[in-house]
């Protein structure tokens, strides 16, 4: 190891590999007594043939304030049984992933910059090994950008379970999806800004075991595919709620694909989202359901989308939504509860009539030209949602009016906070 590297070791055994490099590997040594902790702080690890740092075994490891760059494979590899925290690091220009997590016990990734890696920023893989049944991954308050594939990607085998929490990150300008999950992944995505990625903002991909999805309070915008694309997936505790989804090149929220999808693999609730100005060319609904699964579309504001507002394959599953100016139809109607049939068809993807409680009128956003989709006090979306206990919103600070749910991202118990 070159001089100038600063390593604090607390009751730990190091194994150093690569005499001509700064590469560092750690493992438990059979027959030795248990150790407590290792901290790797303020190091620069670069131009190694394989990994910058590889961690194996059960000893907790913290990596902080390091520069990890230009390694022949991944920047940090967290292997079998490892428990790792990565904080305050710059991880960039590695030849595969920035961080590769494979069968670890758990990893926390926080306050890092992960960028310009040749594959994904973070790759998570879990086998069917039963000794550690769930791989727990927490990714919080990072900037993950300009990676050659996805920003974050999970790839568990069908019998390998990943519990993935993504909170408060900026995920942008990755060449493929911002976040891609598949198979037996439990995803909690909350309070992220996911924008300007090469395909979808968030995609739940074809899976043998559908991911469990709680996607809420995110801003998903300016992606060059759908904002949120659920090929397979089922609701977790929350579902898809209280997101701002706008200016994506394809549909704002898309369920299924044009081919047949197993009904058992798609069961979702899309509630209290604000979905605005999505689509381009000949495609782009606000919310589109092309699946044969069970999709509930309720209490959303869907406005100014390029082709249509809500498009469903079977013309059902939607209710208590506000639609406006989708398909380039302007302010047509004085009465939000009574609109011409031709207007309804354009707002609803050709379906012959509105769902129960649907209204067609201007939502009265505060300043849509500056992407401020909060509601003016006179908005018809206030107190217009469905009255169900889980959505009643009188006690939630962004909601106004009575306890009846407001439509859009500021209604209900998961209302989006101002930033």
* Number of neighbouring beta carbons within 10 Å of residue 44: 14
Least confident among 36-45, 215-224, 329-338, 381-390: 329-338
Q: What is the pLDDT of residue 73?
A: 96
Q: What is the pLDDT of residue 257?
A: 80
Tens of pLDDT along 136-157? 999 999 999 999 999 999 999 8
Give the side-chain half-sphere CA count within 13 A for 270: 32
pLDDT at 417 over 90: no
Task: Look at residue 105 and give its three-state secondary structure.
Answer: coil
Q: What is the pLDDT of residue 15?
A: 34
- Distance between CA 298 and CA 361 in Å, rounded? 16
Q: Say which residue, 29 or 238, is predicted with more confidence.
A: 238
Least confident among 106-115, 260-269, 369-378: 260-269
Mean per-residue pLDDT, 294-310: 97
Percent of the chain with pLDDT over 70: 83
| Residue 381: exposure state from Cβ atoms within 10 A (0-12, 13-18, ≥19) | buried
Tens of pLDDT along 176-193? 999 999 999 999 999 999
Mean per-residue pLDDT, 369-388: 92
pLDDT at 24 over 70: no
pLDDT at 392 over 80: no
- Distance between CA 386 and CA 280 in Å, rounded? 31
Q: What angle do CA 208, 108, 18 make, to 5 degrees?
A: 95
DSSP state for residue 341 in the 8-state scheme? H
Q: Report the chain's mean pLDDT, rounded to a whole number.
A: 87
Q: What are phi and psi of 360, to 5 degrees?
A: -120, 105
Q: What is the pLDDT of residue 35?
A: 57
Q: How confident is the model at residue 4 (pLDDT cuts 50, 70, 90)?
A: very low
pLDDT at 335 over 70: no
Task: Look at residue 111 and give its three-state secondary structure.
Answer: coil
Question: Which of 119, 168, 165, 171 has its CA nearest to residue 144?
Answer: 171
Q: How confident is the model at residue 9 (pLDDT cuts 50, 70, 90)?
A: very low
pTM: 0.90
Q: What is the pLDDT of residue 369?
A: 96
Q: What are phi and psi of 314, to 5 degrees?
A: -115, 10
Q: How confident is the model at residue 207 (pLDDT cuts 50, 70, 90)?
A: confident
């Amino acid at each position: 190891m070159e001089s100038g590297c600063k390593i604090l070791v607390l009751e730990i055994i190091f194994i150093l590999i690569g005499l001509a490099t700064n590469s560092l590997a750690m493992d438990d040594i059979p027959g030795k007594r248990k150790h407590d902790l290792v901290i790797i702080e303020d190091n620069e690890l670069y131009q190694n043939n394989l990994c910058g740092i590889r961690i194996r075994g059960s000893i907790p490891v913290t990596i902080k304030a390091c520069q990890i760059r230009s390694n022949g494979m991944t920047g940090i590899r967290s292997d079998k049984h490892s428990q790792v925290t990565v904080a305050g690091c710059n991880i960039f220009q590695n030849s595969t992933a920035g961080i590769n997590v494979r069968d670890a016990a758990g990893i926390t990734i926080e306050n890092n910059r992960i960028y310009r890696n040749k594959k994904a920023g973070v790759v998570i893989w879990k086998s069917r090994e039963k000794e550690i049944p769930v791989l727990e991954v927490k990714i919080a308050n990072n900037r993950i950008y300009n990676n050659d594939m996805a920003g974050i990607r999970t790839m568990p085998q069908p019998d390998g379970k990943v519990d993935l929490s993504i909170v408060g990150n900026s995920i942008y300008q990755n060449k493929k999806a911002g976040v891609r999950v598949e198979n037996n992944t439990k995803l909690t995505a909350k309070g992220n800004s996911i924008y300007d990625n090469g395909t979808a903002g968030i995609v739940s991909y074809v899976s043998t075991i559908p991911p469990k999805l709680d996607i809420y309070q995110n801003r998903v915008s300016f992606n060059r595919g759908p904002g949120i694309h659920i090929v397979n997936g089922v609701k977790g505790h929350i579902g898809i709620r209280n997101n701002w989804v706008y200016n994506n090149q394809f549909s704002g929220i898309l369920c299924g694909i044009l081919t047949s999808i197993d009904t058992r693999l798609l069961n979702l609730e899309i509630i209290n989202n604000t979905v605005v100005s999505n689509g381009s060319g000949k495609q782009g609904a606000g919310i589109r359901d092309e699946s044969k699964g069970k999709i509930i579309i309720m209490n959303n504001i869907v406005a100014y989308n390029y082709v249509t507002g809500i498009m469903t394959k079977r013309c059902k599953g939607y209710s208590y939504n506000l639609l406006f100016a989708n398909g380039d139809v302007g302010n047509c109607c004085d009465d939000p509860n009574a609109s011409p049939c031709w207007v309804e068809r354009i707002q609803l993807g050709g379906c012959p009539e509105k769902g129960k409680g649907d209204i067609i009128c201007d939502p009265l956003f505060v300043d849509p030209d500056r992407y401020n989709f909060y509601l003016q006090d006179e908005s018809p979306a206030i107190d217009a949602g469905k009255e169900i206990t889980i959505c009643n919103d009188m006690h939630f600070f962004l909601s106004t009016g009575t306890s009846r749910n407001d439509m859009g991202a500021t209604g209900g118990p998961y209302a989006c906070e101002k930033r």
